[in-house]
């Protein structure tokens, strides 16, 4: 308590003393005025020293303010100025009459550092009132001292915006583990949805998924790690390294990169569910049976961290988890690191592997999944009137984003340019979209404004459309509100062929969007046999691929919790 009661008046007196001394702006003041300041300062200094010695005691007690006063005064007034304040007095102090006017700030309610004044005819203030006054006046003094000078607005220096381009892509999907193979299958309308084979799901009402049937980490991930790590991590590591290879980052070039300016930002909605579930089962026997890596291998950040460790990339490294909007959030933030000059290269995207009993069971309990088990390839049918829920999928998608000049300097092949993106919240419901589509419209408008893109220039949209009753139509209505006047607009849903890859969906669909820009072809909407009432088939892509000269492409991702995200790509020019 003693230290609290002393600190406030001491610091306020020192601030007032510092603020009242002449400086460069006051050099024209008379020498007599400066002399009076110094005389008063020396007088106060002596009194404060005596006070410090008295309260310090002689019994060996190391009172902190004894040291503080010595530190401030030991090197003279210049030391005091440099120790106390790192800012200049404001205009109010320059126009003041000196120390006396500064001390007046303390005295208007009867407070004085070296004694007490009467506040009324009733006598001295009580101790509590003095304590409150000390704190109040200290705050008032600092507020005045820190008030910015009027009439001198600061301007942020104009800097040239750093452009971000896509120079590599990598995927692990139910339709192939190479970007070209994956997109060619999409163009042909091939479905990756089939019966689940990884475990016995005969007791579940849903027994289908966009499951990865064959996958190998050979040549991409160390064998020891492959045996221990969760699939979401293995998918991520593999897709990430494939994006580097696709971007022409050879081992020789890797050694030449400034790794402090290379980062990894790949997220996951569900994380290592299999590792965590296995740990729970082992715990039923004994904690001694648990995998010692169960915690780190289950956390959503660890895949991104492991990839950075493997590559030695020391730039920004973390993950974001926003349910099914995860990938887009990661892509937007990765691009922003490049734009702000914090990195030159970023691997970004998402990965999920939740097709296990607890994952399937959880979504069945939500009543979110299609039960069209007899005809798996027809189960995912965005905008079709007979849709009955989404189909789970798994995999990973990774983009290699790079600063334009950095990419040009190394001779990289540029696939597309990232123009910008936006994120908003519905702030409405855990799983249902806003009935008016307010959050989605706001997200699209913010993305257009942030990137400086005219809505007339957007002529291709890779929609989030998951094949749910409410989600599909609400997104479609939002798109029509924003782009309905564009006769060239074409919209499709990659989920119609691979299902919903949860946290990886946005990144895999971003790869599909980039491939559409590269090839000039947009893939079909399969299973759209009887469109929902009010859906215009002139806007939606038909059952076959369509040629399209893409000006600007928009890719949407929305997630449980009301997370909305939009990203924009365009051909590099």
User: For 324-348, what is each residue's pLDDT tens digit?
Assistant: 999 999 999 999 999 999 999 999 9
* Average of per-residue pLDDT across 371-378: 97
Q: The tokens 């806007």 sit on which residue?
A: 539
Report the greatest alpha carbon distance in the chain. 100
Does position 180 have pLDDT exceeding 90, yes or no? yes
**Residues of 402-418 as b/e, b for ≥16 C-beta within 10 angstroms?**
bbbebbeeeebeebbbb
Does position 14 have pLDDT exceeding 50, yes or no? no
**CA 275 – CA 479 distance, rounded (Å):** 39
Predicted structure pTM score: 0.73
Burial class (CB in 10 A: 0-12, 13-18, 19+), 156: exposed
| Residues forming beta bridges with residue 558, ordered by sequence position | 564
Locate all alpha helices (DSSP H) within 366-500, ordered by sequence: 404-409, 438-451, 469-483, 495-498
Question: Nearest-CA neighbor of 422 among 513, 512, 333?
Answer: 333
Does position 106 have pLDDT exceeding 60, yes or no? no
pLDDT given at position 428: 92
The residue that leads in pLDDT, 132 or 180, is 180
* Average of per-residue pLDDT across 73-81: 40
Does position 110 have pLDDT exceeding 80, yes or no? no
Task: Give Cα 339 distance to the centre of its chain.
Answer: 14
pLDDT given at position 461: 98
pLDDT given at position 473: 95
* Average of per-residue pLDDT across 399-424: 97
By mean pLDDT, which of 34-43, 180-189, 458-467, 536-545 is the weakest? 34-43
Does position 151 have pLDDT exceeding 60, yes or no? no
**CA 572 – CA 413 distance, rounded (Å):** 10
The residue that leads in pLDDT, 151 or 494, is 494
pLDDT class of 46 with cuts at 50, 70, 90:
low
pLDDT given at position 53: 56
- Percent pLDDT > 70 in the chain is 72
Sequence-ordered list of residues with C-beta below 8 angstroms from that of 486, at least 6 positions apart, any chain: 455, 456, 458, 459
Does position 400 have pLDDT exceeding 90, yes or no? yes
pLDDT given at position 45: 55
Predicted confidence (pLDDT) per residue in 508-535, tens digit: 999 999 999 999 999 999 999 999 999 9
Residue-wise DSSP of 123-150: EEPPHHHHHHHHHHHHHHHHHHHHSPPT
- Percent pLDDT > 90 in the chain is 70
**CA 401 – CA 482 distance, rounded (Å):** 28
pLDDT given at position 431: 87
> For all residues of the chain together, what is the average pLDDT?
82
By mean pLDDT, which of 48-52, 194-198, 289-293 is the weakest? 48-52
Catalytic residue set: 324, 464, 500
pLDDT given at position 145: 37
Cβ atoms < 10 Å from Cβ of 508:
31
Strands 395-403 and 345-352, sheet pairing: antiparallel
Predicted confidence (pLDDT) per residue in 263-287, tens digit: 999 999 999 999 999 999 999 999 9
Question: Nearest-CA neighbor of 329 among 525, 78, 561, 486?
Answer: 561
By mean pLDDT, which of 49-53, 248-252, 509-513, 566-570 is the weakest? 49-53
C-alpha distances out from residue 313 to 222, 263, 305, 507, Å? 18, 6, 10, 21
pLDDT given at position 39: 55
**CA 414 – CA 402 distance, rounded (Å):** 9
Burial class (CB in 10 A: 0-12, 13-18, 19+), 317: buried
pLDDT given at position 70: 39
pLDDT given at position 278: 92
pLDDT class of 433 with cuts at 50, 70, 90:
confident
The residue that leads in pLDDT, 293 or 304, is 304
**CA 490 – CA 499 distance, rounded (Å):** 20
């Amino acid at each position: 308590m003693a230290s609290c009661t002393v600190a406030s008046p001491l610091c306020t007196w020192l601030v007032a003393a510092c603020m009242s001394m002449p400086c460069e702006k006051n050099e024209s003041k008379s020498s007599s005025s400066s002399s009076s300041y110094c005389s008063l300062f020396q007088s106060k200094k002596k009194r404060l020293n005596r006070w410090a010695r008295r309260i310090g005691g002689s019994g060996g007690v190391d009172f902190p303010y004894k040291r503080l006063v010595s530190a401030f005064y030991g090197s003279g007034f210049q030391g005091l100025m440099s120790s106390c304040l790192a800012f200049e007095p404001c205009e109010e102090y320059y126009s003041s009459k000196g120390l006396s006017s500064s001390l007046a700030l303390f005295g208007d309610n009867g407070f004085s550092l070296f004694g007490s004044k009467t506040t009324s005819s009733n006598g001295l203030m009580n101790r509590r009132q003095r304590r409150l006054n000390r704190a109040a006046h200290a705050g008032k003094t600092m507020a005045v001292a820190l008030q910015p000078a009027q009439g001198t607005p600061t301007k942020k220096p104009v800097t040239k915006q750093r452009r971000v381009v896509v120079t590599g892509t990598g995927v692990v999907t139910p339709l192939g583990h190479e970007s070209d193979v994956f997109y060619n299958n999409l163009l042909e309308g091939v479905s990756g949805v089939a019966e689940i084979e990884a475990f016995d799901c005969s007791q579940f009402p849903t027994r289908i998924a966009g499951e990865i049937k064959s996958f190998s980490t050979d040549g991409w991930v160390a064998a020891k790690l492959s045996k221990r790590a969760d699939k979401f991590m293995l998918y991520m590591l593999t897709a990430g390294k494939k994006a580097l290879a696709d971007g022409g980052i050879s081992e020789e070039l890797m050694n030449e990169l400034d790794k402090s300016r290379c980062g990894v930002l790949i997220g996951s909605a569900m994380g290592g569910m299999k590792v965590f579930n296995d740990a729970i089962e082992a715990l039923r026997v004994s904690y001694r049976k648990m995998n010692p890596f169960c915690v780190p291998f289950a956390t959503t950040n660890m895949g991104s961290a492991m990839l950075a460790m493997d590559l030695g990339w020391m730039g920004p490294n973390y993950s974001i988890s926003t349910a099914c909007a995860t990938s887009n959030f990661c892509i937007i933030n990765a691009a922003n690191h490049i734009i702000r000059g914090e990195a030159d290269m970023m691997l970004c995207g998402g990965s999920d592997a939740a097709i296990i009993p607890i994952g399937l069971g959880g979504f069945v309990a939500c009543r979110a999944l299609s039960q069209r088990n007899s005809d798996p390839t027809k189960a995912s049918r965005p905008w079709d009137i007979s849709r009955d829920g989404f189909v789970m999928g798994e995999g990973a998608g990774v983009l290699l984003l790079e600063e334009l000049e950095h990419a040009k300097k190394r001779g990289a092949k540029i696939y597309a340019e990232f123009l910008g993106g936006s994120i908003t919240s519905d702030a409405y419901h855990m799983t249902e979209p806003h009935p008016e589509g307010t959050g989605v419209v706001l997200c699209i408008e913010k993305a257009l404004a942030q990137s400086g893109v005219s809505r007339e220039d957007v002529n291709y949209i890779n929609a989030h459309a998951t094949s749910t009753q409410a989600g599909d139509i609400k997104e479609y209505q939002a798109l029509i509100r924003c782009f309905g006047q564009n006769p060239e607009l074409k919209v499709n849903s990659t989920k119609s062929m691979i299902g919903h890859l949860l946290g990886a969906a946005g990144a895999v669909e971003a790869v599909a969007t980039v491939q559409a820009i590269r090839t000039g072809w947009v893939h079909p909407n399969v299973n759209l046999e009887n469109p929902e009432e009010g859906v215009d088939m002139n806007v939606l892509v038909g059952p076959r691929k369509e040629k399209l000269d893409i000006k600007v492409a928009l890719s949407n991702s929305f997630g449980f919790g009301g997370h909305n995200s939009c990203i924009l790509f365009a051909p590099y020019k």
